[in-house]
Amino acid sequence: MRNILKIAVRNLARFGRRTLLTSSLITLDIVGVLLFIAVAGSFKTIMIGQFTDSMLGHLEVHRKGYVASIDSLPLNLNMQPTMVGKVEQALKATDAVDAYSERIKLGAMFSNFTETTSIRISGIDPAKEIATVPLLPGRVIGDKRAGALLNPGEILIPELIARGLKVKAGDTVVLVATNRDGSVNGKTFSVAGVMQSASGPGGKDGYISIDDARALLRMKEAEVSEIAIRLKNPAQIEAVYAQLSKELSAIAGAGAGAGAGTGSADKSASAGKGGGSGLEVHTWAALSPFSNIANMIDLLAVFIKIMMVSIVLISVMNVMMMAVYERVREIGTISAIGTPPRRILALFITEGLLLGLGGAALGTLISLAAIYALNIWKITVKFGMQQAIVLSPAVSARDVVIIAALVAVMALLASLQPAWKASRMDPVTALGHV
Amino acid sequence: MALIRAEELVKTYRTGEVDVHAVRGVDFAIESKSFVVFVGPSGSGKTTLLNMIGCLDRPTGGKLAVVDTDVGTLDRPAAAEFRGKHIGFVFQDFNLIPVLTVYENIEYPLIMVQDWPEKKRREQVMRLLKAVGMSGQENKRPDQISGGQKQRVAVARALATDAKLVLADEPTANLDHDTAYHIIELMKKMRDEFGTTFVFSTHDPKIMGEAEVTFTLEDGRIQQPSPRPVAIHA
Ligand SMILES: Nc1ncnc2c1ncn2[C@@H]1O[C@H](COP(=O)(O)OP(=O)(O)OP(=O)(O)O)[C@@H](O)[C@H]1O
Ligand SMILES: [Mg+2]
């Protein structure tokens, strides 16, 4: 084996320029892939963070069926206090949960006394909400007001409505909402601030305090539309999602008596859609169309990997086919003097493998250096409401190992055919080759 | 007991429609430790015959036994193994491995064909280097030595595995006359020293005279299977 390695290395050195060219192609290839993974991964993390930390939270709990008809923000699919209590218990018992925030969601009419438009309102407990989506205060446009983000009797309005209806902080406005029994109720609010939309320029989401929301809707009980959850580590989203889903389905089963009572009293349209006593958990990705961007980045990474794989495959195969062709007489000689075909095979496979691995090793080193440099130079991007977010590109050891292994496997596959051809060569024909 | 025995040996190449009768039924026997030459005009079948003896090519008729083995029946891997075990080759174009040093070229069959332990390899290579007069040149690459020196190294490589038989198809065709003569002398000396049977072919009449046994081929047939007395070279 050592001898095979020695011969392979020397043959690579013998055709030094070609070896250099091919291995530097592979090197570049790997640098491209690893840098993409690092930068795109960092961008993705920031992007996801913008959604989860400024609006959605990592996970949300709803009554079963609520999300299916979330467009109408159905009041009859709110969670009852007993149910909320049980969810809270489960969340407090879950170590991975950092914070959670109960919200009342409703659709309302917004009026500045001369014009009226529709608005989606979240009733929140500001302290809990900020703990759950810490970037929320950052969405307020203009100078920060001293004191609380939102007091009772105040409303945070979306930029779109502020501009359209020419409303500014300090103005008095009216919200009119239809209650669950069909009656209509109105309430005046003072505008606490104007907010950027987290979900793009079309967003019409406003915030009031949860008590105001309940008063506006004339709720007798402390109902909740959704509970947003923040995890200590966003990487655990899937794991916690699975765990909570299981636990909450058990809770819903136990609490069926309380839930079913109110549920059946509703003459709701969504009762037919499976709205019932159950609970369901969703990840932010399931709730936001922007998760598609994250998926797209992943898809792009897959494409880039496929391209890398093809480049390695083609370049190594090309070089090895050339190597076999150039050394036909040499192959004839070693075959004539009795070198077993499997050793000839090993000789050429080793050569191809070394070519790939050499490029991979160098590429990995350069990539790691480049990623290190990018972190020092602090590349910034603009995304969402934050003007300059510093990218912190990083690759996991797992990614590096996977890429290197992929290159090795491709180099192996690429040299297989030429090596096979060499090992099967007829010595007489090969020796006669000029 | 003859080392090589051929009976009614035939080799016919089929190239498209026409059959080329390269060897048309030859009988001969070559004794162990002999020094044999096949001579004959171009196209008479020398290479074809040596290739069959060397298990590089299979006969299409007759019988051929080499080292008590019916080599006509060996399949490719078996033939490769047989060559590695019993036969050494010296080529017209030297065919040293360009990326290996003189030492490594001689050592090659001991690693890649057979599995000799390091210490034994070293002894064998040093002994052969000395025997072929290449001591002190072991670290040179093939492109740093002359044609005659290359062929010396090739002879040493052919002898490395203690093969019973060394086949050399026109080993001196690429050498000037003096060098050619020295290579043949070297082969004969090796025969004396190691008891190896040498079978070679040549066009060169002066070289032919060095052989102890001469087979003259013509149009695929042996003309005069006449063992000749040892030539005395002046
Ligand atoms: N692979 C082959 N296919 C077809 N015909 C062949 C093949 N090899 C040799 N021949 C033919 O067989 C005959 C004998 O060839 P061979 O090479 O054995 O002669 P040779 O005595 O070695 O000649 P030279 O002195 O030129 O080397 C020739 O007519 C040659 O054309
Ligand atoms: Mg010939």
3-state secondary structure B111-147: HHHCCCCHHHHHHHHHHHHHHCCCCCCCCCCHHHCCH
Residues A255 and A404 in one domain: no
Residue B65 included in any domain: no
Q: Which of residues 99-138 of B touch A (CB under 8 A)?
A: 99-100, 108-109, 111-113
Residue B191 included in any domain: yes
Phi and psi (nearest 5°) for B35? -125, 100
Task: Tell me what pLDDT residue B15 has.
Answer: 85
Contact (CB<8Å) A7/B89: no
Contact (CB<8Å) A330/B157: no
Question: Domain count of chain A?
Answer: 2
Atom of ligand 1 nearest to the CA of B45: 18
Q: Is B47 in the pocket of ligand 1 (CB under 6 A)?
A: yes
Kindly give the confidence (pLDDT) of every residue in chain A, 434 residues in length, as a single tens digit, with 9 standing for 90 and above. 788 889 899 989 998 899 999 999 999 989 999 889 888 888 888 888 888 888 889 999 999 889 888 888 898 899 999 889 999 999 999 999 999 999 999 999 999 999 999 999 999 999 999 999 998 888 888 776 777 889 999 999 999 999 999 998 899 999 999 998 889 999 999 999 999 877 666 678 999 999 999 999 999 889 999 999 999 988 889 999 999 988 888 776 544 444 444 444 333 333 333 445 688 999 988 888 778 888 888 899 899 989 988 999 999 999 999 999 999 999 999 999 999 999 999 999 999 999 999 888 988 899 889 888 888 887 776 665 555 677 788 888 888 899 889 999 999 999 999 999 999 999 999 998 65
Task: Tell me what pLDDT residue A292 has.
Answer: 84
Q: Is B209 in the pocket of ligand 1 (CB under 6 A)?
A: no
Strand partners, A175: A110, A187
Question: Domain count of chain B?
Answer: 1
Task: Tell me what pLDDT residue A272 has.
Answer: 35
The pTM of this model reads 0.77
| Whether A431 contacts chain B with CB within 8 A | yes
Query: Contact at 8 Å (CB) between A63 and A278?
Result: yes
Residue among A329, A341, A428 minimizing CB distance to B80: A341
Q: Is B18 in the pocket of ligand 1 (CB under 6 A)?
A: no
Helix or strand run (H / E) with residue B191: helix B177-194
Q: For residue range B31-73, what is the model confidence (pLDDT) as tens digits?
A: 999 999 999 999 999 999 999 999 999 999 999 999 999 999 9
Edge to edge, what strands does the sheet with B61-66 contain?
B18-31, B2-15, B61-66, B69-70
| Whether A337 contacts chain B with CB within 8 A | yes
**Domain finish residue from A287, A307, A322:** A287
CATH number at residue B78: 3.40.50.300
Q: Is B15 in the pocket of ligand 1 (CB under 6 A)?
A: yes
Residues A206 and A146 in one domain: yes
Contact (CB<8Å) A339/B113: yes
Question: CB within 8 A of B142, min separation 6: which ones?
Answer: B94, B96, B97, B98, B100, B102, B105, B150, B153
Residues A44 and A120 in one domain: no
Which chain A residue has the Cα nearest residue B114? Answer: A339
Token duo for residue A158: 């979306």
Domain that holds residue A190: 57-287
Q: What is the ipTM, given to two decimal places?
A: 0.92
- How do the residues of chain B divide into helix, strand and coil, expressed in percent and rounded to 5? 35, 30, 35
Query: Contact at 8 Å (CB) between B113 and A339?
Result: yes
* Chain B residues near residue A430 by CB distance under 8 angstroms: none
Atom of ligand 1 nearest to the CA of B44: 21
**Domain finish residue from A265, A287, A309:** A287
Tell me how far the alpha carbon of residue B234 lies from the centroid of ligand 1, in angstroms. Answer: 34
**Domain finish residue from A249, A264, A287:** A287
Give Cα separations from B4 to A68, A121, B134, B164, B165 (angstroms): 90, 102, 31, 11, 9
* pLDDT band of B115, cuts 50, 70, 90: very high
Phi and psi (nearest 5°) for B96? -80, 155
Determine the distance in angstroms separating the CA of A25 from the nearest CA of chain B, rounded to an integer.
25
Q: Is B51 in the pocket of ligand 1 (CB under 6 A)?
A: no
Task: Tell me what pLDDT residue B172 has.
Answer: 94
Residue ranges with strand state E in A248-355: 279-283
Residues A44 and A65 in one domain: no
Q: For residue range B132-180, what is the model confidence (pLDDT) as tens digits?
A: 999 999 999 999 999 999 999 999 999 999 999 999 999 999 999 999 9
